[in-house]
Structure 1
Amino acid sequence: MTDERKQHPEEESFKDKILNSLHGAYEQSPEEPDDYEENDFSRFSTEINTQDNGEQPIEEQDSVGSRSQRNNLRAPEEDAFVPYDRKEEDIYPVDTKVRRRQQRKKEDKIVNKIVLIIVLVLLFVGGILGFSAYRYVSSSLKPLNAKNEQLVQVEIPSGSSNKEIGDVLEKSKIIKSGLVFNYYTKFKNYTGFQAGFYQMAPNMTLDEIGKLLEEGGSPTPVDVADKRLTIPEGYDVEQVAKKVAKVTEYSEKEFLALMEDEAFFTKLKEQYPQLLEGAAKAEGVRYRLEGYLYPATYDYYNSNTLEDIVTQMVDKSNTVLTPYLEQIQQKNMTLHEVLTIASLVEKEGVKEGDRKNIAQVFANRVAVDMPLQSDISILYALGEHKELVTYEDTAVDSPYNLYLNTGYGPGPFDNPSEEAIQAVLNPTENDYYYFVADIDTGKVYFAKTYEEHMEYVEEYVNK
């Protein structure tokens, strides 16, 4: 090869130019390896010589080998030059798959992190929303302002649904949420809300409002009262006296003195003859109006006298009980007897089903001349309010002691609700003679025999 170059200096110069140009192209290539070797350069020289002479020098074939052999001998580098017409994975299949697998793992990790972050954010936001909703509902179930007794006159239009009533009360600033009111009244099975004008205050509970709407308002607007007097169901006369003393300017002593005033009772009897006929004939009663002071919410004006307050309560009893007079006569009972049993049922049971069964138990006992043995009668006879009655208590000398005396007693033991009255008039037929309530759960257990009853007492009371 050396001799040929000497014999043809022009060709040698031409070849050198071409080789230099190729060499420069490799140097400019971005994929040129750093460890470019002389043997690779010789490969291009050999190719050019072959093009010029039509053959390849033997010594170069022996020392270097064919092009395919030389390509196999070269160690693949990560940044090695890749011809434009060949794919990288064809030349470096293993490295490419590894890199792609690693890339996918990185991408999966990033995706997982993003998903985890999104889930945590959603849980956090959901927790905040859930807690906020819980607080909102909880606060909506309470009075809007427990310290605000200022009465507001509210008109409930005829035909209003519970939802529409709730909206009216919310706009009138009586309750916090009309939506919560709607669901609460449905949950508590409040029905029969009546249209009319009502006087309400922000310190009223949802139950107080529901019961007031069931009782009905006035058909026309009235002067806004100064205060609101609420008598809870099952309150006896002495408890009513304390409640009146808290709201009005009249003391307990004054109220109880009016309850014992025969002249005042006679005046009321003339006004409500059917209602108070049984109370007038009763003997040995502590207060003749016990059971006739209907538990409800009343409007109180500073100009009201104590007689006005009591008359308002008796008038409410007359309104509620008059529709039941015919049914009472059909059962061969007096109104006074119905109120007396209802006053026991009011305290002995809470659920409607229990009250109806208890009313029948009392009827079963009276039918066989068996004492009712109600603890409520003992507590009334003692004039005390305590959780448990002892054997010593059952021996108290009083006509109200239904452990010692048969029948219903002199008269009512408290002022019962309409629900308790309905339970007496529509009891559930049964053949039970005993019942006892679990002091923890309030569940009532009924028994036909004394032995079965004592088993329940031992299990649910003496425990």
Structure 2
Amino acid sequence: MGSRSQENHETKKEEPDPTLEEIAEMPPRQRKYETRKKERKVVRRIVLIVVATLAVLGTILGVTFYNFVQGALQPRDAEDSQLVQVNIPSGSSNKEIGDILENDNVIVSGLVFNYWTKFNNVDGFQSGYYQMSPDMTLDEISTLLQAGGTAEPQAIADAKIVIPEGNDIASIADIIETSTEGAITADDFLAVMNDDAYFQKVLALYPQMLTSASEAEGVRYRLEGYLFPATYDYYADTTTAEGLADQMVAAMYETLSPYFESIQNQGYTVQQFLTLASLVEREGVTAEDRANIAQVFINRINAGMALQSDISILYALGVHKEVVTYDDLEVDSPYNLYTNTGYGPGPFDSPGLASIEATLNPTANDYYYFVADVDTGDVYFAETYEEHQQLVEEYVNN
């Protein structure tokens, strides 16, 4: 009996749906049943088609939106350096600023700009007139907006010279040459930096800031660390290498002026303070890490320990590279803070405001060592050398 049932099951075929003509000839009750059955099948097919279509459209829209956001995070036109004047009214929100930048064809999307500032905790934008170009990155635009604009519209500059935080004088000279398309060469700017008559001029203007720099021995450039990282206007007819240097030194003085008393009260000369801030600038990324790293350096100074920052080795060598070797640590230079205790001759780069404030307001801790994960950039701190070695083994050597 079991095999016969299986045979019946296997040979049973689904009967085809009746045609509309066949349904029309059926008795009313059966006709109504078959009609509803047919309608349900049609509905199911329509639903399946709609769902499949929506899934395809959703995928297409998702990819399209992702590509749009990725594009909006890049400069609007990397080849267009033509400056436009942008007016940011007082009290403008980040969303309103984004809309203004989009309408002035500086960025791709005001909406993406607004969310980018939220995700990156970027704020402190100021009102005023700005000169921007479509080849500027969101970081460069934000830095410009944080620095503040002018009260009145200015003549359109021929170029913007963007000096990011953490650049030394040699790198700044290269940036100037590139930004001015060679009109002001790196050698032109370095000549100003090496000109003692120029240093004496700015020393007379800003003695409170530059006296300790004038007394430092063994420095490569007396103004290393004193050129504030910001965005500067370049006018082909009037801007000179010395004029740019004037602006940068003046900007650093304006930035440091509110802190001179605190710097003195904490027992630093300005030269020593900017040296620490320049190390903090290059060693830390987040505000939390910078404040902890600043305290580590202070702890080591107070304990009479060498600061042992790789940044000092790279500066002493005059190179930029990812890995510092044991042979590099033996470089004969007053800037080598592995073999020399104390602060060394002076700063190693130009620190930004965030690093200046972190150095003034470090986070109290008992750490003497720190190491950064080579993959994630996360910084790990230790009180003892043994703990530090374990962290190095875990996050660097492995």
The two structures have a TM-score, normalised by structure 1, of: 0.77
How far apart are the structure 2 equivalents of 1:380 and 1:88? Answer: 96
Aligned residues: 373
**Are 1:260 and 2:188 an aligned pair?**
no
1:456 aligns to 2:391 (yes or no): yes
After the TM superposition, which residues 17-416 of structure 1 pair with which residues of structure 2 at under 5 Å, given as runs?
105-248=37-180, 249-302=183-236, 303-416=238-351
User: Residues 345, 112 of structure 1: CA spacing in aligned structure 2 closer, same or farther, 3 A cutoff?
Assistant: same
Q: Which amino acid aligns with 1:207?
A: D
1:196 positional shift? 0.9
* Structure 2 Cα separation of the partners of residues 389 and 117 of structure 1: 61
- Deviation (angstroms), 1:109: 2.6
Q: Which amino acid aligns with 1:372?
A: L
1:422 maps onto 2:357 in alignment:
yes
SS at match of 2:397: coil
What CA distance in whole angstroms lies between the structure 2 residues aligned with 1:107 and 1:172? 56
Cα offsets for 1:199-256 (capped at 9, x unmatched):
1111111111111010001111211111110111100111111111112212222222
Specify every segment of 5 or more residues in structure 1 that has no aligned partner in the other structure, as ranges: 1-77, 90-95
Post-superposition shift, 1:272? 1.6
SS in structure 2 of the partner of residue 446 of structure 1 = strand
Listed one character per residue, the Cα deviations across residues 140-159 of structure 1 (whole Å, up to 9, x for unaligned) are: 21111111111111111111
- Secondary structure of 1:461's counterpart equals helix
2-structure distance, mates of 1:335, 1:164: 39
Equivalent pair of 2:163/2:231 in contact (CA under 8 Å): yes
Distance in 1, matches of 2:262 and 2:123, equals 23
The CA deviation at 1:128 is: 2.6
The CA distance in 1 between the partners of 2:339 and 2:100, in whole Å, is 54
CA offset digits 1:338-371 (Å, max 9, x no partner): 1100111111111111111111111111111011
> Matches of 2:289 and 2:222 in 1, distance apart?
28
Identity, % of aligned pairs?
A: 58
How far did 1:125 drift? 2.3
The one-letter code matched in structure 1 to 2:190 is: L
Runs of 4+ in structure 1 over 4 Å off: 99-105
Structure 1: distance between partners of 2:212 and 2:28: 110
Rg bigger for which structure? 1
- 1:269-309 per-position Cα deviation (integer Å, ceiling 9, x unaligned): 11222221221111111100100111111100112111001
Structure scoring higher RCO (CA < 8 A, sep ≥ 6) equals 2
2:361 maps to amino acid: N
